[in-house]
Structure 1
């Protein structure tokens, strides 16, 4: 179904929420990855959807670069442009709605079944007059969305388009860099981490190879912020990121996946002993004090890891296992301290 909106069907409360979203986005500055994640969450809330996603068109594929709700764990998923409703939206530049994926010939029906969705709206995201991706909301039931949802999604997609313009005024290649990297540290962001992890897991599984996943959580960021201010806190995050990156192999991926959270992908890691040694080395290198405006500030990081295939062969299972191991390490550090 092609959509053309006429008079506004939105109530004042929804319009006010969109205005508030615009204000919140302004606070995120040039962190395009953060803007996309925020808009996905807000689009889900405003339309009553089960999930929302920002997909960027990259070559012949549509790639999940931000996601919330039921599709949050599908970050990094890649779909063929030519067989998806999102790809059609990019090609036509039009807002499209699917009321029932089981009877709509434009959608990838098997992908919809895997995601547990039956209806969706996709709206184009434009940068420099080119449609570079879509904002999509999804629901598990048929006929979940109406004209008001379509209008709300259209308006909020404009907020991403504005953020795209300010983040990358001239080059589309710069747009993808901004969308996949953390603005503060320059490391890959959560979306790119999930993308690379998904591909790394697939490759390791097909080749009967090994893979390590590290979860790293800064110790004591809040006390740094409280005592020295947020500029010192940002400096601590940047220093931690630089030290983690410095201790990566060329084949590794280090990413900032949250405020004080980092993660690493270690392709071809050897034994559990090798992973433990790598974790200790990272913790030791990050844990050295650093100087900020004439003061020496303590840094620390708790590290947990998971190995494929020993700890699982599913991406989410590996992340959960590394998470639990990190929290155990953090509890151990507190007990010692």
Structure 2
């Protein structure tokens, strides 16, 4: 459900702290915060052994480089904390930041279980603060254009979503996504996007899902996957995602009279979006002007904080994403058997069921 809280005073600057000092943070997130009106990069934190990296990342913004995560969380001058830590740390540090009176934007997956998102939801309620999962791709205008085309009946009733997300992570790279102990694997990384897209456009969780996982030699995590979602009434989704190959960030909305294709959901700043509509009347391709979806995400969250209104990625979506992701993991462990994922939000995911 949506969370409401007192709006910030008009014109007050929103001061951001970031947990994590990776290349991703320095290359994408910090510039997006700094470029957003009313926002400032105020602090960065790393683990103590990486403090030199935090100093390096913070310097261009005149930001404080905290010695550890707890010090940043305790900083009274911060309004928002962005959490870009290993997946296994997301729930703990989100809850801690909320309890310290900060709003939180947390990298996907917000949690790897519905129970984890529930803990965050309770902490956000108790602190009267916002928490949001960072699905930056949702904030690119090409997604809004695809939704508008679907709503305009351009291709008829939505029946099937195809979603493919992939990029290569080499073995031996030391990347945390290859480490099972840190919540690695394709499902909880690129798979998050493939899981989100069908639920975003159908507006609900599927009734059941299934998956097959593939593991690269020498690794303990799945590195590629294929899956399906059944939304009932002849509506479905087909997924494939991987950290073995890529890059791909493509999805298609199949309607009763045609298709809407978004060719690159990860379109970066300076890269136009491309959307194709194909029906019996012909094919037309639209160019969506380039936009920075990281900055769009920061701006959207900042508006929600400033105006005391719901976020563009509500916690109900995060609960569904966590439930469905966990169900895909369980299905793969059961050899691809169907797992029920009813849209109710008031109980645990049912046990593995036998496919019809």
Bin for the TM-score computed over the shorter chain: under 0.3
TM-score, normalising length: structure 2: 0.26
Q: Which has the higher helix share?
A: 1
TM-score, scaled relative to structure 1: 0.27
Q: Which has the higher contact order (CA 8 A, sep 6+)?
A: 2
